[in-house]
Amino acid sequence: EAAVTQSPRNKVAVTGGKVTLSCNQTNNHNNMYWYRQDTGHGLRLIHYSYGAGSTEKGDIPDGYKASRPSQENFSLILELATPSQTSVYFCASGDATLLFGEGTRLSVL
């Protein structure tokens, strides 16, 4: 069954710390995406990838890096986390219609 799995599901981080959010898909999709969801802003695209080794900036990339080491895995990295990055993060995969994971709730204190 097609699936996108995110880890961790919940994370509390300290300001200035490094945070890595992980995403795994078993759908053999070329495209993978990271979005954040905030009330009043909907889903905003942070980074995306065409395939292993590629990463592209989305609409709000500042403060975030991404890594796609394989077809299955796509990570979002916050090198120096800030309270403004407190949000719910969604990973998705798909070459047209997207399949989303269940989300990671991140709190930066």
Partner 1 sequence: QQKVQQSPESLSVPEGGMASLNCTSSDRNFQYFWWYRQHSGEGPKALMSIFSDGDKKEGRFTAHLNKASLHVSLHIRDSQPSDSALYFCAASELYGSSGNKLIFGIGTLLSVKP
Q: List residues binding partner 1 (CB under 8 A).
A: 4, 30-31, 33, 35, 40-45, 48, 50-51, 56, 58-59, 90, 92, 95-103
Evaluate the omega torsion of the peptide bond into residue 8 and state whether it is cis, within 30 degrees of 0.
yes
Give the nearest distance from C-beta 63 to partner 1 in angstroms. 19
Identify which of residues 11 and 58 has a Cβ nearer to partner 1 in the complex: 58
Least Å from the CB of residue 106 to partner 1: 15
To the nearest whole angstrom, how small is the minimum distance from the Cβ of residue 32 to partner 1?
11
Closer residue to partner 1, CB minimum distance, 15 or 88? 88
Residue 10 tokens read as: 């919940």
Q: By three-state DSSP, how is residue 35 classified?
A: strand
In this structure, the number of other CB atoms found within 10 A of the CB of residue 71 comes to 17
Q: What is the DSSP letter of 49?
A: E
> How far separated are the first and last CA of the chain, in Å rounded?
37
2 or 80: CB nearest partner 1: 2
